[in-house]
Structure 1
C-alpha cells in the first residue's frame, strides 16, 4: 500500500475509533456530576470532561496494547490499528485539555513532556502522554517513509 493511501486510511480509522470511544463516554461512573466551588461560587458540570478523559483512556489502552502486540508486523492492517489509535488518542488527549481549560479556565503551560496547570493559585505538573505518543507516531511515520522500496523494471537495467 502506498504511503499516501496508508495515512488516508489511518485518518479514516482514527475518526471511526474516536467516534466509538466518545460514544462510550456516558458509561463512565461519576459520583458527583456537579461540583460547587466555594471560593468562586460557581457550580461546574464534570460529566463532559470526565467522559472525554475516559474516552482518551480507552484509546490510549488500545494504542499501548496494539503497539506491544503488533508493532513489528509487516501487515499494513495491523500497523493501521497502531497508527489510527495513536492519532485518536492524540486528538482526544488535547480535546480533554481544551475542555479542562474551557470549564475551569486555568492557566495551562505546555512544557517538554509535561503540562503545568495553575488554577486558583495552586499549581500542578502532569505528565503529558500525548507528547510521548506524538513522538512514537512521528518515529513510525519516519520509519515507514524511509523503507527502501523495490526498484521498478526500468531501474534494474
Structure 2
C-alpha cells in the first residue's frame, strides 16, 4: 500500500515540477502579448500600466492552449509523461488565471465576485459576467486526480508468480 502512495506522490511531484516549467515558459512570452492600446494610459486622473495584466493574461492563454492541445491529443494515453504534461499544463493555467485576476484587481480595483463557472466584474458602472475557464480546468484537474487516486488505490495486489 505504501508503494502505491509513493507512486501517487511521485507523480504529483513531477506534475508540480512540470507546472513550474510551463509557468516559466508561459511567463517568458508575456512581453510579446499583443496590445491594442498603449502600455500606459491615463484615465480619470490616474495612470494605468496595462503591460502586467495583459502579459499575465497572455501567459495564461498560452498555458490554456497547451492544456487544450495536450488534452485533445494525449487524453487516455497510458504514458506517464503524457499525463504529466496534461496535468502540469492544467495546474499552470489555473495558477496563472487567478494571478491574472489579482493583477486586474490590483490595477483597476474593480468589484470581482467568483460564481460557479463565472466571474462577475463591476467597474465604473459597467458589469461583465465572464466564463471562468480556471474553474473548469480545476474541475478537470481534480477529476483526473481523483481517478488516478482511485485507480492506484483499487488495483489488487499481485499474487503467486506475478509478485516477482
Query: Fold match, TM over 0.5?
Result: yes
**CA apart distance, 1:150:** 3.9
Q: Tell me the secondary structure at the aligned position of residue 98 of structure 1.
A: helix
Counterpart among 114, 120, 126 of residue 118 in structure 2: 114
Distance of 2:81 and 2:156 partners within structure 1: 21
Normalised TM-score (structure 2): 0.89
Instruction: Give the structure 2 partner of residue 36 of structure 1.
Output: 42
Please report the RMSD computed on the Cα atoms of aligned residues, expressed in angstroms: 1.5
Distance 1:16 1:29 in 2: 23
SS in 2 for 1:2: helix
Instruction: Decide which structure has greater helix share.
Output: 2
The 3-state SS of whatever aligns with 1:146 is: helix
Q: Give per-residue Cα distances to partners, 1:63-97, cap 9 Å, x unaligned.
A: 00000110100111000000000000000000000
Q: Which sections of structure 2, spanning at least 5 residues, go unmatched?
A: 1-5
Q: Which residue of 1 aligns with 2:3?
A: none
Residue from 119, 124, 127 that aligns with 1:123: 127
Could you say which residue in structure 1 is the equivalent of 2:89?
Answer: 85
SS at 2:15's partner residue? helix
Where do 5+ consecutive residues of structure 1 fail to align? none
With structure 1 as the length reference, what TM-score do the two structures score? 0.93
Q: CA deviation at 1:153?
A: 4.1
Q: Report the equivalent of 1:14.
A: 19
The alignment of Structure 1 onto Structure 2 pairs a total of residues equal to: 153
Deviations 1:85-123 (A, max 9, x none): 000000000000000000000010000000000111211
